[in-house]
């Protein structure tokens, strides 16, 4: 979830960690791990893209999408 919040909402790791009541280091490691999986595995990347599209399509409010790198 931290990965998607970071990518779709452009929130800093600290904000994501506070929201989920977790250590920012742990959230950062998890996000980095998922980013590596997305880069390495085409199937996993397709799954993440599908989840992002579904969240955007089914959102009851508009969300800001940032396509650049942080």
Task: Count Cβ neighbours within 10 Å for each residue of 4-25 and write b for 16 or more, e otherwise.
Answer: ebbbbeebebeebbeeeeeeee
Residues of the chain with pLDDT under 50: 63, 65-70
* Alpha-carbon torsion (37, 68, 49, 57), positive or negative: positive
Per-residue model confidence (pLDDT) at position 48 = 77
- pTM value is 0.58
Per-residue model confidence (pLDDT) at position 67 = 47
Per-residue model confidence (pLDDT) at position 6 = 73
Per-residue model confidence (pLDDT) at position 59 = 63
């Amino acid at each position: 979830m931290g990965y998607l919040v970071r990518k779709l909402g452009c929130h800093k790791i600290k904000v994501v960690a506070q929201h989920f009541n977790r250590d920012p280091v742990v959230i950062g490691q998890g996000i980095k791990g998922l980013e590596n999986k997305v880069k390495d595995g085409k199937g996993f990347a397709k799954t993440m893209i599908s989840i992002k599209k579904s969240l955007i399509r089914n959102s009851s409010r508009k969300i800001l999408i940032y396509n650049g790198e942080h």
